[in-house]
Amino acid sequence: MTAGGKGSGDGDGWEEEVAQWDEEVSEWEAEDPDLAPEESGRVPKVIAAGHINWDVTIHVDRLPEPDGETRIDRLEQSGGGSAANVAVGLVDLGGRSVVYGSVGGDESGALALRELASAGVDPGQVLVDADEPTSVKYVIVDGGGELLMLANDGANESFTAAGLDRDVLTAADHLHLTGQQPETAAALATAAGEAGATRSFDPGRRVGDREFDAALHAVDVLFLNDREADALADSTDIDPWEPADRVVAIKLGSEGATIRTPHGDVSHPGFDVDPVDTAGAGDAFAAGFLGAALRELAIVDGGFSHDPRDYQVPLLVGNACGAIAAETVTARATLSWDRIRETMGESPESDLLIEVRA
């Protein structure tokens, strides 16, 4: 991509800077960096705001044709929802997280909250809407790991920005938004910015159909898959592939991911795994990326860095977490730094395939 911002248009000076980047990347790869953060390092507090579900995951050999039938090979129930999944993943990686969303006043809601608390997530801000059922998502997974999802909205978006305790928001280092009402996302992003927190947003598959413009423009980092990136480029003035003023993490499925910044991009092809269930893989990627990036003040001090070299470790960690999730039966993967290193150890050559472009 063409570089923007600092250094662009400086002719030979810019070429020298790019050459220096290449040299630094080579040195970094040769060092075999330890991805796990120092135990004594910064432990950021994150609020993950958005959907909290109860998931029913059904595994079949193949999806039936219309008016057809297929046998259930395995059925699992677990907590789900993008905000909840990211919150749990961050705690798994040694972080602190608060989840903000809404559930119904039913057994499914009680189960979802109990599971979050057991995982070490603070669910104290969750709204319980007694008039609506908890959103239950039925995830049907075929033998190749492909998905079919059925869901009710229920109480999923009953919460509003006004319901979040401002002291909790002020104490947070970062706000991560997932699917929710556009006005709620915009208000939360604005309030977090005023409180001095960095902000990220994973709007999900409905990004092209909902009026998320205000929230999209208010955040530092966007998480999208390639289809969502194209939909966003078609429906707004934001080009995720060539961002002007933010960082965009674009998930490419089996081909890994690319981190786009105004000053260049960094890409990694991912890890070779046999997927059994890709539900939640994007949430695991976000948890891994944020879990690595937010601990580094050099990346997040004053807002997220636009230097693509800063995202080599967060990208590797995010891809490893996504791979772990793809090999997990439900959307809620158990993450750890040991599992991340093990995943990377199975494909050591992938450590050397990071590409930084300016």
Give CA–CA dist 113/32, Å, rounded.
Answer: 40
Q: Which helix (H) or strand (E) holds 113?
A: helix 107-118
Q: Which residues contact 196 (CB under 8 A, 6 or more apart)?
A: none
Angle at 17 (CA atoms; ends 12, 18), nearest 5 degrees: 95
Edge-first strand order for the sheet with 257-261 is 96-100, 45-49, 174-177, 198-201, 221-225, 247-251, 257-261, 264-268, 355-357
Q: How far apart are CA 349 and CA 225, in angstroms?
A: 24
Instruction: Sort residue 280 into left (φ over 0), alpha (ψ -120 to 50) or beta.
Output: left
Q: Maximum distance among all alpha carbons in the chain? A: 66
For the question of residue 283 being annotated catalytic, the response is: yes
- Whether 101 and 49 have beta carbons less than 8 Å apart is answered as yes
Between CA 46 and CA 225 the distance in angstroms is 22
Pairing of strands 247-251, 102-104: unpaired
The number of C-alpha atoms within 13 Å of 324 and in the hemisphere containing its C-beta is 28
Tell me the backbone φ, ψ of residue 42, rounded to 5 degrees: -65, 135
The CA–CA distances, whole Å, from 159 to 52, 78, 128, 155 equal 11, 22, 9, 8
Q: Which of 106, 283, 307, 310 is catalytic?
A: 283
Cα separation of 242 and 258, whole Å? Answer: 12
3-state SS assignment for residue 342? helix
φ, ψ of residue 198 in degrees (nearest 5): -80, 165
State the Cα–Cα distance between residues 307 and 328, nearest whole angstrom: 33
> Catalytic residue numbers?
283
